[in-house]
């Protein structure tokens, strides 16, 4: 696995203990663009060292997310962390990544090509990334659901399609 990294945020903080000393904080998202992604946070006196620490932390904290056709998510999910709330929806082919700020870095590193995401609440990049990961952890493929219920994948997909049809017929008839 050769993960590609995407820097989400670098911040500078100063502390005036005896003289002005600056510290840097980096938020890095790492992914293999095939369904594995992680994020890490690093602090150091210099930017490259902070990025290195954050990248190592991100590689240790990678999660696997099931992707539909290798390009989008299976279903809509909501995630939150602190004051950050995100809504993540699958999208049709050709839509692209419609997401703002740090969420875009997460989806690009994950390998999602078509997704619609909206962040509500805070614009703090740390909370937005954590809320996005909370939503991604809730993703389940039909295979996982079928295995847990002891059914076949075709039964799960048939039921999903039959639930969506009455809605479509009601809107078409109105």
pLDDT tens, N- to C-terminus, the chain (174 residues)? 566 666 666 666 655 455 677 788 889 999 988 889 999 999 888 888 988 999 999 999 999 999 988 889 999 999 999 999 999 999 999 999 999 888 998 999 999 999 999 999 988 999 999 999 999 999 988 888 888 888 887 887 777 677 766 555 555 554
Look up residue 42 and give its two tokens. 């690093």
Look up residue 93 and give its two tokens. 């082919």
> Which stretches of the chain are assigned E, i.e. beta strand?
4-16, 20-31, 36-44, 63-64, 77-81, 84-90, 97-98, 115-121
With 0.95 as the threshold, say if the pTM is over it.
no
Distance of alpha carbon 11 from alpha carbon 80, whole angstroms: 23
Q: What is the DSSP letter of 138?
A: T
Distance of alpha carbon 151 from alpha carbon 141, whole angstroms: 13
93 backbone dihedrals φ, ψ, rounded to 5°:
-65, 135
Q: Which residue has the tokens 């056709």?
A: 69
**CA quadruple 149, 152, 154, 157: dihedral, nearest 10:** 10
- As a three-state string, the secondary structure of 65-110 is CCCECCCECCCCEEEEECCEEEEEEECCCCCCEECCCHHHHHHHHH
Taking phi first (over 0 means left), then psi (-120 to 50 degrees means alpha), and beta for anything else, what does residue 142 get? alpha
Taking phi first (over 0 means left), then psi (-120 to 50 degrees means alpha), and beta for anything else, what does residue 45 get? alpha
Distance of alpha carbon 48 from alpha carbon 7, whole angstroms: 12
């Amino acid at each position: 696995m050769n993960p590609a990294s995407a820097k989400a945020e670098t911040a500078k903080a100063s502390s005036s203990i005896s003289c002005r000393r600056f510290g840097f904080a980096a938020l890095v998202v790492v992914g293999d663009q095939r369904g594995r992604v992680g994020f890490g946070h690093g602090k150091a006196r210099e930017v490259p060292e902070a990025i290195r620490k954050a990248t190592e932390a991100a590689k240790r904290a990678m999660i696997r997310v099931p992707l539909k056709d290798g390009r989008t998510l299976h279903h809509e999910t909501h995630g939150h962390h602190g004051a950050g709330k995100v809504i993540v929806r699958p999208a049709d082919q050709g839509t692209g990544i419609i997401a703002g700020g740090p969420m875009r870095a997460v989806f690009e590193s994950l390998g999602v090509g078509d997704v619609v995401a909206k962040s509500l609440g805070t614009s703090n990049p740390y909370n937005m990334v954590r809320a996005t990961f909370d939503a991604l952890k809730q993703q389940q493929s039909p295979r996982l659901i079928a295995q847990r219920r002891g059914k076949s994948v075709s039964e799960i997909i048939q039921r999903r399609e039959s639930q969506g049809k009455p809605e479509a017929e009601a809107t078409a008839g109105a």
